[in-house]
Chain A
Amino acid sequence: MSKMPMWADAILVPLISLFLAALLSALVILGIGENPIEAFQLMVDGALKRSAGWGYTLYYATNYIFTGLAVAVAFHARLFNIGGEGQAMIGGVGVALVCLYIPWPHWSLAIIGASAGAALFGAAWALIPAYLQAKRGSHIVITTIMFNYIAFSVLGYLLVEILRPAGAMDPASANFPEATHLPNFHDMFAPEGSRMFRGAPANVTFFLALAACVFVWLLIWRTRLGYDIRSFGLSETAAKYAGSSPLRITVIAMLISGALAGMMSVNTTLGESERLILNSTEGAGFVGIAVALMGRNHPIGILLAALLFGFLNQGGAELALWTNIPRELIVVIQALVILFTGALDNLVRMPLEALFLNLRKKKETV
């Protein structure tokens, strides 16, 4: 029995949830004595009216595409990978090792090597929780949370004790060699002498993220493995009956998920900071949860949701710059989106389903 048309499920429900989150956020802004409409205009001005603003928006969106895809792939196998943050941190270690110890002749080769390093390290960090879930029944949510904290300690140890150049004070690795530096949007798109995208961190990794969207779409809906992952997510017993091994699906889905989360660090570590720093993930792993929920676990939805959250993040930074509203407003908005699209989904869905059911009944009686 389908209660709602497809379009309502895919578009109407997220939009209403987003509207509710926006409404509450506006109330929050009112509550701290600012004007929500002015605040929104300031966000649009700062994030979308200037090319540099776009450069930041797309930079953040790149991170969120990777982490959103990571959460989505795991969701399709009904696994909640809350460990994107840790996987991205460890992915950064992979990027740093690849860039520091291999003399790359050109950035185009370096980005391939760095992606492989990031994916490998991120996947490795997801492997133990995946294995424990499949083999020993340890709840993957708890283990991935624990692995986030362990990752932070590992990263801290590596940066302070091992990767920090002699004499340096801050916990960070040495700068990557010149040859590995990725072209940013200013290098790529600005005409000679133009200031377009100047100083903004968006770089070629954005296109890598778009490629990842295509990859995930192909994987989930066009391959046998994707079919296995989805059927496992819908019914574990049915998947078992059909002959696919839960251990194999859980581990493979989490490896792909971890690899995608890890690849976020190509953008932050190689693309932006050009060295490994302590807090490059900035909570993007958690934003990925909001992005995946909002985007209904579909790459197109995730792309749009990532752009939205990129805009919010950059707009929030502008707000913090020009008004008394701290950047944390964005965290509140993200939390509300997660709450309404994730946990309170039925709050929107139940009345809508009733509405569509009523409409259909009327049609039948006429």
Chain B
Amino acid sequence: MDFLTVLQVLDSTVRLAIPLLLACLAGLYSERAGIFDIGLEGKMLAAAFFAGAIAAVSGNVWVGLLAGIGASLALSVVHGVASITFRGNQLISGVAINMLAAGVTVLIAQDWFKQGGRTPSLTEDGRFQPLEWPMAIGPKDAEETGQRLSELITEASIPQQIYSELLSGHSIIVYLAILAVPLSAWVLYGTRFGLRLRAVGENPASVDTAGISVVRLRYTAVLICGVLCGIAGAYLATALQAGFIKDMTAGRGFIALAALIFAKWRPWSALWACLLFGLLQAIAVRFQSIEVGDFVIPVQLMEALPYILTVVILAGFVGRAVPPRAGGEPYVKER
């Protein structure tokens, strides 16, 4: 395996980690405020569909992104009403949202496009295009010199290879998602809102006593979660792939949930966890089987590894993951 192959795997690691990261941060806000959200998957799926569909109809990816965020927000409101206003079971609500999204997306896709539950393939303006950084080797250079892009990169120096292959050439959402990590860390640990958000997930009664509305804080957190899931879903349909296909989230919402636990509900750790799970996905996509000596690691093991790691972490054998204390419990004011 040469250096360039490693770079390419890392490059697709970043691509695959981004939807995980956005969904993971989404879950982070919600769960830090004490609202469990196993509906990340459904919200991403709904957002992926509406982003893909509206981008295809309007031909503008930004309109698609807004539609995706809108769809995800709508489901967030359902989750909020069920778990905050009506104090219902947050886990059951999450299950319902996942199933609702899985059904509704195909139903509407079939009604609108009649292509068996997918949206039409997106053309240039319907997708997020890669951003070429200055001095990076990109498709333009390939056109000018008449050589193939892969050849140009192979000939380049190692720093240039890293710069062109790994850092440059991602869509804007990739960079925004990575910026969201320090931003979230600052919001959570550096602002008054973040302090209150964390408090409402640990001890809502104390927040209430301080005269701050628990309901409002929790709705805010759930809505932030909706926006981030919306961007994650839109990224799937308009950047990672060119259009929506049935069940395209393929468990990413749950891997994000796993990453969130892995990261112990902290933003920076979330980035590393998502990159790790992204790497596993990238390896599973690129290599069908990996030989270690005489032993062949089956591709199924690579697919299952994020889930297995999460169970190990949850079991507390490698550093214990303690969720926010008031997570999952509806807040009832004393009367």
Q: Which residues of A contact B (CB under 8 A)?
A: 28, 31-33, 80, 82, 128, 132, 136-139, 141-143, 145-147, 149-150, 153-154, 156-157, 160-161, 286, 289, 293, 324-326, 328-336, 338-339, 342-347, 350
Q: Are the CB atoms of B78 and A339 closer together than 8 Å?
A: yes
Q: Are the CB atoms of B304 and A339 closer together than 8 Å?
A: no
> For residues 290 through 322 of chain B, which have their beta carbon under 8 Å from a beta carbon of chain A?
298, 300-301, 303-304, 307-308, 310-311, 314-316
Q: Are the CB atoms of B310 and A335 closer together than 8 Å?
A: no
Is residue B29 contacting chain A, with contact meaning CB distance below 8 A? no
Q: Are the CB atoms of B300 and A343 closer together than 8 Å?
A: no
Closest to B117 in A: A326
Q: Are the CB atoms of A328 and B102 closer together than 8 Å?
A: yes
Q: Are the CB atoms of B96 and A328 closer together than 8 Å?
A: no
Q: How far is the CA of A362 from the CA of B127 in the complex (A)?
A: 64
Q: Are the CB atoms of B261 and A153 closer together than 8 Å?
A: no
Closest to B255 in A: A149
Q: A146-B258, A324-B110, A331-B102 are in contact. Are A343 and B316 (CB under 8 A)?
A: no
Q: A136-B316, A141-B91, A326-B107 are in contact. Are A150 and B99 (CB under 8 A)?
A: no
Q: A328-B117, A346-B87 are in contact. Are A157 and B298 (CB under 8 A)?
A: yes
CB-defined A-B contacts under 8 Å, sample of 18: A31-B111, A33-B111, A128-B311, A138-B311, A138-B316, A139-B314, A141-B91, A142-B258, A146-B311, A150-B311, A154-B300, A154-B304, A286-B99, A293-B92, A334-B99, A343-B82, A346-B87, A350-B86
Q: Are the CB atoms of A332 and B104 closer together than 8 Å?
A: yes
Q: Are the CB atoms of B106 and A82 closer together than 8 Å?
A: no
Q: Are the CB atoms of A335 and B96 closer together than 8 Å?
A: yes
- Count the A-B residue pairs with Cβ separation under 8 angstroms: how many? 151
Q: A138-B314, A150-B304 are in contact. Are A331 and B89 (CB under 8 A)?
A: no
State the Cβ distance, B23 to closest chain A Cβ, in Å. 14
Closest to A159 in B: B300
Q: How far is the CA of A153 from the CA of B88 in the complex (A)?
A: 33
Is residue B225 contacting chain A, with contact meaning CB distance below 8 A? no
Q: Are the CB atoms of B99 and A343 closer together than 8 Å?
A: no
State the Cβ distance, B86 to closest chain A Cβ, in Å. 4
Instruction: Indicate which residue in B95, B102, B117 contacts A82 across the interface (CB closer than 8 Å).
Output: B95
Q: How far is the CA of A132 from the CA of B236 in the complex (A)?
A: 34
Give every chain B residue within 8 A of A141 (Cβ-Cβ): 38, 91
Q: A150-B304, A342-B88 are in contact. Are A332 and B95 (CB under 8 A)?
A: no
Is residue B74 contacting chain A, with contact meaning CB distance below 8 A? no
Is residue B249 contacting chain A, with contact meaning CB distance below 8 A? no
State the Cβ distance, A347 to closest chain B Cβ, in Å. 5
Instruction: Indicate which residue in B87, B96, B300 contacts A336 across the interface (CB closer than 8 Å).
Output: B96
Q: Are the CB atoms of A146 and B95 closer together than 8 Å?
A: no
Q: How far is the CA of A156 from the CA of B102 in the complex (A)?
A: 23
State the Cβ distance, A87 to closest chain B Cβ, in Å. 15
Is residue B323 contacting chain A, with contact meaning CB distance below 8 A? yes
Q: How far is the CA of A32 from the CA of B91 in the complex (A)?
A: 29
Q: Are the CB atoms of B92 and A338 closer together than 8 Å?
A: yes
Contact with A along B74-109 (1 / 0, CB 8 A): 000010011100111111110111111011101110
Q: How far is the CA of A326 from the CA of B103 in the complex (A)?
A: 9
Q: Are the CB atoms of B117 and A161 closer together than 8 Å?
A: no
Kindly list 6 other residue pairs between chains A and B, CB separation below 8 angstroms, not including A143-B314, A150-B308.
A142-B261, A145-B254, A286-B95, A326-B117, A334-B99, A345-B89
Q: Are the CB atoms of A339 and B82 closer together than 8 Å?
A: yes
Interface-centre pick from B86, B93, B106, B314 (highest chain A CB count, 10 A): B314
Q: How far is the CA of A31 from the CA of B254 in the complex (A)?
A: 30
Q: Are the CB atoms of A330 and B103 closer together than 8 Å?
A: yes
Is residue B54 contacting chain A, with contact meaning CB distance below 8 A? no
State the Cβ distance, B19 to closest chain A Cβ, in Å. 17
Interface-centre pick from B82, B117, B261, B316 (highest chain A CB count, 10 A): B82
Closest to A146 in B: B307
Q: Which residues of B contact A (CB under 8 A)?
A: 38, 78, 81-83, 86-93, 95-100, 102-104, 106-108, 110-111, 114, 117, 251, 254, 257-258, 261, 298, 300-301, 303-304, 307-308, 310-311, 314-316, 323
State the Cβ distance, A148 to closest chain B Cβ, in Å. 8
Q: Are the CB atoms of A289 and B103 closer together than 8 Å?
A: no
State the Cβ distance, B4 to closest chain A Cβ, in Å. 30
Instruction: Indicate which residue in B38, B92, B103, B303 contacts A145 across the interface (CB closer than 8 Å).
Output: B38
Closest to B92 in A: A342
Instruction: Indicate which residue in B91, B100, B303 contacts A332 across the interface (CB closer than 8 Å).
Output: B100
Closest to A348 in B: B86
Interface-centre pick from B86, B108, B114, B308 (highest chain A CB count, 10 A): B86
State the Cβ distance, A36 to closest chain B Cβ, in Å. 13
Q: How far is the CA of A145 from the CA of B40 in the complex (A)?
A: 13
Q: Are the CB atoms of A338 and B310 closer together than 8 Å?
A: no
Q: How far is the CA of A319 from the CA of B98 in the complex (A)?
A: 23
Q: A142-B257, A153-B300, A334-B99 are in contact. Are A328 and B307 (CB under 8 A)?
A: no
State the Cβ distance, B67 to closest chain A Cβ, in Å. 17
Give every chain A residue within 8 A of B99 (Cβ-Cβ): 286, 331-332, 334-335, 338
Give every chain A residue within 8 A of B315 (Cβ-Cβ): 132, 136, 138
Closest to A327 in B: B106
State the Cβ distance, A82 to closest chain B Cβ, in Å. 7
State the Cβ distance, B146 to closest chain A Cβ, in Å. 43
State the Cβ distance, B191 to closest chain A Cβ, in Å. 29
Q: How far is the CA of A343 from the CA of B83 in the complex (A)?
A: 7
Give every chain B residue within 8 A of A33 (Cβ-Cβ): 111
Q: How far is the CA of A149 from the CA of B97 in the complex (A)?
A: 19
Q: How far is the CA of A346 from the CA of B88 in the complex (A)?
A: 7
State the Cβ distance, A299 to closest chain B Cβ, in Å. 20
Q: Are the CB atoms of B100 and A344 closer together than 8 Å?
A: no
Instruction: Indicate which residue in B89, B103, B117 contacts A343 across the interface (CB closer than 8 Å).
Output: B89
Closest to B316 in A: A136
Give every chain A residue within 8 A of B82 (Cβ-Cβ): 339, 343-344
Q: A82-B91, A132-B315, A153-B300 are in contact. Are A336 and B100 (CB under 8 A)?
A: yes
Interface-centre pick from A132, A143, A344, A345 (highest chain B CB count, 10 A): A344
State the Cβ distance, A84 to closest chain B Cβ, in Å. 11
State the Cβ distance, B240 to closest chain A Cβ, in Å. 20
Interface-centre pick from A31, A33, A143, A338 (highest chain B CB count, 10 A): A338
Q: Are the CB atoms of A156 and B300 closer together than 8 Å?
A: yes
Q: How far is the CA of A149 from the CA of B298 in the complex (A)?
A: 15
Q: Are the CB atoms of B86 and A347 closer together than 8 Å?
A: yes
Q: Are the CB atoms of A344 and B310 closer together than 8 Å?
A: no
